[in-house]
Amino acid sequence: MIKVCLADNYPVVHFGVKSYFKDHAEISIVANVGNFLMVRDILLTKDIDVLILDLELEGLSSIFEVKNVLKNFPKTKIIIFSGLSEQIYAPNAIKAGVSGFIHKKEKLETLGISIIKVHQGKIIMNETVKKNLALIAKQSKSERLYRKLSNREVEVLRYLSDGKKNHEIAEILNLNEKTISTYKLRLLTKLNVTNLVDLVNKAKTLEIV
């Protein structure tokens, strides 16, 4: 039996996933957590094969924290189960070491199949992600600019788009405020804009945030 922990903000998601897999022949939801701080506690006390994780989970501020989980608990596979843009977050998540990315619009049947494949050691992305990546390769240079962004730059851009100031982002990501300013300058250069408003608009146009 594949032992799974679901980490998500919303009780309705927990209820739906747990109900769907209640009588599954191969998958058992053995733990449910509502914030990132609880993830480590669960992994320390339970033998978890697959962690289903929402990137917007309360307490999770950086993809680097996900990388740390993978480093500290190498036997546990991670599948990102999120409503965030697949086009940008799936490649970055896979690069960080997770085993798969499933958008929340997909059927739970797809999630189940993915859990089994990941447990077998496979790296999976759903068909939507694969199609998006194929389309990206055919897009213009400006439309492919986001591919040059690092995980950290994507995170900073996301918080800037949410209206957060440099000092607020620095506190969230536990970085120096000057470092955030540097990331901001890099983003302006890479996305070929000169101010924050245009930066945010460009990010939204390219579905980066």
CATH number of the structural domain spanning residue 72: 3.40.50.2300
Which of 18-22, 103-107, 142-146 has maximum average pLDDT? 18-22
Q: Do 125 and 165 reside in the same domain of the chain?
A: no
| pLDDT of residue 27 exceeding 90 | yes
Same domain for 21 and 71, yes or no, is yes
Q: CATH number of the domain at 169, please.
A: 1.10.10.10
80 and 33 in one domain? yes
Looking at residue 194, its pLDDT comes to 86
- Choose one of 85, 109, 137: the last residue of a domain: 137
Domain tally, the chain: 2
Question: What single-letter amino acid sits at 9?
Answer: N
Tell me if 146 is assigned to some domain: no
Residues 128, 161: one domain?
no
Does 38 fall in a domain? yes
pLDDT digits (tens, 9 = 90+) for 127-179: 666 665 566 566 555 455 556 677 788 889 989 999 999 999 999 998 999 99
What does the alpha-carbon distance between residue 58 and residue 111 come to, in Å, rounded to a whole number? 21
Residue-range definition of the domain harbouring residue 11: 2-137
Domain end call among 86, 113, 137: 137
Mean pLDDT score across all residues of the chain:
87
Same domain, 96 and 192: no
| Nearest CA-CA partner of 77 in 117, 104, 42, 110 | 117
Instruction: Indicate whether 66 belongs to any domain.
Output: yes
Residues 173 and 109 grouped into a single domain: no
Which of these three, 94, 112, 137, is where a domain ends? 137
The answer to whether residue 127 is domain-embedded is yes
- pLDDT reported for residue 146: 57
Residues 95 and 11 in one domain: yes
- Whether the model clears a pTM of 0.85, i.e. scores above it, the answer is no
Q: What is the pLDDT of residue 78?
A: 98
- The answer to whether residue 1 scores a pLDDT higher than 90 is yes
Stretch 24-49: mean pLDDT, rounded?
96
pLDDT band for 193, please (50, 70, 90 cuts): confident
Question: Does residue 182 share a domain with residue 94?
Answer: no
Percent of the chain with pLDDT over 70: 86
Tens-digit pLDDT profile for residues 65-83: 999 999 999 999 999 999 8
